[in-house]
């Protein structure tokens, strides 16, 4: 059992790296990758030693936020050298751009009528849209405004896609890398490149499968994250695993499996996707490692 897309509290996950190891162990998962956004901070000597005690293999990973025009893409890197200076320098720049983004988007959200706990958010080293959206949604002072805008208290994803994304009232462009730049960065750090959750771009960016595949091929990706269950902003579960497996196989791209786990949720996949009956027999871990 494997799961190669997990987040910790070093980015926008809820749990510590050690707690993730414990949860993976409890779920019967023996190979994982922590792929925090634009940071490798989860990877410490202590974590590798603790994982070894639990008989869990860790493949060092990262999820780099990128953009082509106004369309965002997430690029996964596996087996990267976590001490690679160029990689560390570039992701430090990305984290700094997140701080600038926080300042600018908070200003827009406040002007739009929401309360934002900027001081709390500034304390997060790798702050994300998820952190900001959760801060707004969980603030009781925003309840009336949220009900007025949504007629209910929205989920994090719904808030981001309605208020913060491109074309929305509080959209702010964030300085970031192009997908090809992230791919080159990962490969020079000894890693394998995988385009994260291609199914998401269909529903968030209205892209065709052909357009998404072209992005993967243009960045010289090694694989696609095809074994992935997408939950849309209306909390609908979308399973296109078979279609994406075929696309990957037809284009000589290896396939990976990821829960994209951030926190325990009623519907979203748990670590290992073991709250769903998912076939991962096509995943060849040797190609990834």
Whether pLDDT at 139 is above 70: yes
Residues whose CB is less than 8 angstroms from the CB of residue 114 and which lie 6 or more positions away in sequence, other chains included: 136, 139, 142, 145
Q: Of the given ranges (10-19, 246-255, 279-288), which has the lowest mean pLDDT?
A: 279-288
pLDDT tens, residue by residue, 65-123? 999 988 889 999 999 999 999 999 999 998 888 889 999 999 999 999 999 999 999 88
CA 70, chain centre distance (Å):
18
What is the Cα–Cα distance from 142 to 114, expressed in whole angstroms?
6
Q: Which whole number is the average pLDDT over 178-196? A: 97
pTM (predicted TM-score) = 0.85
pLDDT at 252: 96
Closest CA to 64 of 40, 82, 43: 40
Q: What is the DSSP string of 131-200?
A: HHHHHHHH-GGGHHHHHHHHSS---HHHHIIIIISTTSTT------B-HHHHHHHHHHTT-EEEE--HHH
CB 8 within 8 A of CB 15: yes
Percent of the chain with pLDDT over 90: 77
The domain made up of 2-78+177-288 is a member of CATH 3.20.20.140: yes
Output the pLDDT for position 98: 84
Percent of the chain at pLDDT > 70 equals 100
Instruction: Give the per-residue pLDDT at 178.
Output: 96
pLDDT bracket for residue 5 (50, 70, 90): very high
Confidence of residue 266 (pLDDT cuts 50, 70, 90): low
β-strand 57-58 against 31-34: which pairing, if any?
A: parallel
The residues with which 64 forms a beta bridge, in sequence order, are 75
Write out pLDDT tens, residues 35-56. Answer: 999 999 999 999 999 999 999 9
- Domains of the chain, residue spans: 2-78+177-288, 92-164
Has residue 126 got a pLDDT over 80?
A: no
Distance CA 43, CA 88 (A): 12
Confidence band for 176, pLDDT divided at 50, 70 and 90 = confident
């Amino acid at each position: 059992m494997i799961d190669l897309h997990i987040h910790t509290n070093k980015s926008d996950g809820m749990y510590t790296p050690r707690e993730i190891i414990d949860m993976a162990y409890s779920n019967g998962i023996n190979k994982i990758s922590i792929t925090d956004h634009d940071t490798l901070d989860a990877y410490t000597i202590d974590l590798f030693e603790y994982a070894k005690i639990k008989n869990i293999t860790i493949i060092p990973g990262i999820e780099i936020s990128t953009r082509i025009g106004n369309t965002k893409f997430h690029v996964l890197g596996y087996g990267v050298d976590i001490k690679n200076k160029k990689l560390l320098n570039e992701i430090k720049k990305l984290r700094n751009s997140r701080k600038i983004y926080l300042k600018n988007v908070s200003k827009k959200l406040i002007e739009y009528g929401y309360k934002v706990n900027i001081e709390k958010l500034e304390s997060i080293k790798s702050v994300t849209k998820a952190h900001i959206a959760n801060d707004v949604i969980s603030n009781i002072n925003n309840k009336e405004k949220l009900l007025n805008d949504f007629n209910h208290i929205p989920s994090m994803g719904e808030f981001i896609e309605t208020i913060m994304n491109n074309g929305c009232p509080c959209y702010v462009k964030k300085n970031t890398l192009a997908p090809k730049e992230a791919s080159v960065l990962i490969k020079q750090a000894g890693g394998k490149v995988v385009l994260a959750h291609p199914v998401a771009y269909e529903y968030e960016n209205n892209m065709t499968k052909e357009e998404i595949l072209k992005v993967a091929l243009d960045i010289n990706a090694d694989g696609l994250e095809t074994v992935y269950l997408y939950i849309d902003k209306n909390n609908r579960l979308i399973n296109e695993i078979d279609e994406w497996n075929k696309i990957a196989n037809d284009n000589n791209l290896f396939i990976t499996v990821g829960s994209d786990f951030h926190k325990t949720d009623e519907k979203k996949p748990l670590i290992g996707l073991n709250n769903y009956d998912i076939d991962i027999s096509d995943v060849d871990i040797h190609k990834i490692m």
